[in-house]
Amino acid sequence: MSKYDSIRQAALEANLKLPELGLVIFTFGNVSVCDRKLGAFAIKPSGVHYSELEADMMVIVDIDGNTIEGELRPSSDTLTHAYLYKSWSEIGAIVHTHSTHATAWAQAQRDIPILGTTHADHVAGNIPCALPMSPEMVKGNYELETGKQITQCFTDRKLDYRQVEMMLVGSHAPFCWGKDSAKAIYNAAILEEIARMATLTLQINPAAPPLSNALVKKHYTRKHGPDAYYGQ
Of residues 62, 121, 142, 180, which has the active-site annotation? 121
As a whole number of angstroms, the distance between CA 74 and CA 48 comes to: 10
Closest CA to 70 of 119, 11, 18: 11
Q: Is 230 a catalytic residue?
A: yes
Task: Tell me which residues are annotated as active site.
Answer: 121, 230
